[in-house]
Amino acid sequence: MPELSLTVSGAPATLAYSDVGHGPPLVLVHGFPLDGRIWDDVVPLLLERSIRVIVPDLPGFGRSKLEASAFTMQSMADSLVALLDALKLDTAVFAGLSMGGYILQALVRISPDRGAGLSFVDTKASADDEKGKAGRDAMIALAHEQGTPAIVEQMLPKMVGPRTKEGAEIVVARLKSIMLDQPPATLAAACAAMRDRADFTAHLSSLPCPLQILAGEADAIAPLEVQRAMHAAAPGSRLDLVPDAGHMAPIERPAEVARLLADFAGGIRHAS
């Protein structure tokens, strides 16, 4: 697996990624507390639809290293720009799952010309409210004091929809094992970065590229009303809802997610 050396928040880091297939490039950005494996079932289906698929592990997650003890959504977005530069790509379509979506929101603000299209997957445009920020602080303390398993125990029940929880134990077990692999220091830093992220809502009306809003209908973390409000605030956006999926639509309903992502990315290719 290729790896890029870079700096994140002034400290050395690496970004491991896969880059497979031919066609319009689509970068799949994972969420928290995960890594690029969350897209494993989606990738082969996108390849069948003639899309080039690039999947990074963000610095500090999965196979990528991070020496900084703190980072921001913007510094993670900078690492995606560095990846495009290394691959000599002026633009790509980006899909970001939840925290991955927050990172794309930072990316479009710092480098508005690098996204040919954006897919916000199970994510939100609003910043954390006071209750949300207090929850992040509690999770930071939990990560430092009890480590990754305590975070997994707290988060796992909210990650998937009822259909997955009851009928797809293997999917839940895979998800859990990806979550357990993430270092607690990265999880604490990510919680602080998400707590401090800027509100993106005002930018939805003037995005420089097409927007897809894609979400599991049973997402408990970024619920349906949030998805509908984003769609209403972003003229020309498309809203694609995935039945029987929660916050982890790409691992819960990969065929449906791949179809919708390919349709969006393919539409951009035809339009350009």
Residues that bind ligand MLT (CB under 6 A): 31-32, 98-99, 194, 221, 247
Rounded Cα distance, 241 and 249, in Å: 10
Element holding 132 (H helix, E strand): helix 130-146
Distances (CA, A) of 86 to 48, 80, 176, 212: 25, 10, 32, 26
Rounded Cα distance, 4 and 83, in Å: 7
Tell me whether residue 32 or residue 39 sits nearer to ligand MLT (CB atom). Answer: 32
Q: What minimum distance in Å lies between the beta carbon of 264 and ligand MLT?
A: 20
Tell me whether residue 53 or residue 194 sits nearer to ligand MLT (CB atom). Answer: 194
Tell me whether residue 116 or residue 257 sits nearer to ligand MLT (CB atom). Answer: 257
Which of helix, strand or coil describes residue 39? Answer: helix
Q: What minimum distance in Å lies between the beta carbon of 269 and ligand MLT?
A: 28
Tell me whether residue 211 or residue 221 sits nearer to ligand MLT (CB atom). Answer: 221
Element holding 26 (H helix, E strand): strand 25-29
Rounded Cα distance, 262 and 265, in Å: 5
- Token pair in block for residue 40: 């494993």
Q: Let me know: does 20 contact 43? Beta carbons within 8 Å.
A: yes
Tell me whether residue 42 or residue 116 sits nearer to ligand MLT (CB atom). Answer: 42
Q: At 220, which amino acid appears?
A: A
Tell me whether residue 32 or residue 200 sits nearer to ligand MLT (CB atom). Answer: 32
Q: What minimum distance in Å lies between the beta carbon of 198 and ligand MLT?
A: 14
Residue 17 pairs in a beta bridge with 56
Q: What minimum distance in Å lies between the beta carbon of 48 and ligand MLT?
A: 27
Query: How is residue 12 annotated by DSSP?
Result: E
